[in-house]
Chain A
């Protein structure tokens, strides 16, 4: 009898010991998905301290493969670049809804009262311009040219850090052509930002610079290119390099961050012209989506083979098949005849493996996830209402610019920077500059 009571007490003593011990807790919590871990901060002060610790958070990101898989998408109205409302679209198997990042993070710097600012109230809002493995790059647009400010944010932990703007040479009217975040937690706890600026000496030339969060400084590279076409391109980070796609010139550039060189990659031939639809990175893979026929009934999904540096066709999508896979109660009063085309390709989302690659599309205002392998369809959002200045719900058609859609990856990874001790970081509102 006594032994039994004793063993009962000892057993719960194990639970207590483990629950109060950072070492064991760390081993367990590092395997718990982000959403639950964040909630466990409320358990006790010790748990809160452990979960907030930057070293734990980094370990959590490294050990959790789900910290690299997109849970959904943040989307701006592609037809209206003036509108700053962010829409969030979650995969239904993700844990809960992804955060809306609409709060324009309050900036601590005082912004001078400006006639233009009052007129264009969007000046106070940051706009997401890139998502990269869990960190997001935002741009705060100011009407005054030299006050475009860039911020790196983790939307799960609410951390924000400004990226200092490189010094621009006003003699040659130097301006920022492209700004791309490079962050890969598996490669380094720090992030880099690659910036190209252009100036008019005799001809327009773009030059490349790299910012490292480890040093907190910009460094010039010797890389230059003619013209400034990257200004019209979309840049994405993947495995140590930045890739730009420029729609108008059908060009694909690759900037190797370590080697500091710029190369050109041939564009998939069928993706040229008005067929081009999207350029996306997901879980370490780069995709181009394009429509290959005039009737817009066939899509090709290309993936970049990083060994051969060639775009390889991976999936062919027949729109009719997609439409026919839609549930009967899809919409238009059951009249599927009206949904004869996809209105916009929102993204390609890749999960753990190839079989988990899906196309996210907007069909008549409904967002649908189409698994490219199983060909199964899932309706994610039944109503995407764009409030357009043009009035009424705008259905976006025709040749798109780059769709402002950003995959959301949930990670606890801290935004390390050099200003403090490496393992000490500011949370909440960061100091500017």
Chain B
């Protein structure tokens, strides 16, 4: 039998923790507060949970984790986003300038 890595065990434990809490409690306020606490985790764990929740088809967990990530990335600059997701900037400086100009008038940021 293949042993589950420590990392995978940790993620699954989190998923189970979430499912059990949401199964036993029905009070939305209590759940909200508990969720706020539950999602205080590092980015990599968040992303792992997204993958796990998707694979295990746990919609509520997937929704909430995605919302947490969305709240975490909103307001960040494109460069910060690239750092978080390890994305290579494949725009040439001219192309990037063009994209930025196109969207300039649309909701300039402070």
Contact = CB atoms under 8 A, between A and B. Distances in A.
B69 A28 contact: yes
B109 A96 contact: yes
Given A95-B107, A96-B110, A97-B108, A44 B89 contact: yes
A20 B87 contact: yes
Interface stretch (A8-16, A238-246, A356-364): A8-16
B81 A14 contact: no
A158 interface: yes
B91 A45 contact: yes
B70 A35 contact: no
Contacts of A3: 5-6
Interface residues of A, number: 47
B37 to A, nearest CB: 20
Contacts of B99: 41-42, 48
B25 interface: no
Given A14-B48, A15-B86, A97-B107, A36 B76 contact: yes
Contacts of A10: 7
Given A24-B54, A28-B66, A96-B110, A11 B78 contact: no
A42 B91 contact: yes
B80 to A, nearest CB: 10
A34 B107 contact: yes
A19 B87 contact: yes
A390 B88 CA distance: 57
B82 A29 contact: no
A19 B107 contact: no
B107 A28 contact: no
Interface of B: 5-7, 43-45, 47-48, 50-51, 54, 62, 66-67, 69-71, 73-78, 81-82, 84-91, 96, 99-100, 102-103, 105-110
Interface of A: 3, 6-7, 10-12, 14-20, 24, 27-36, 38-48, 95-100, 103, 155-158, 410
7 contacts: A11-B44, A11-B48, A31-B70, A32-B74, A42-B78, A44-B90, A97-B107
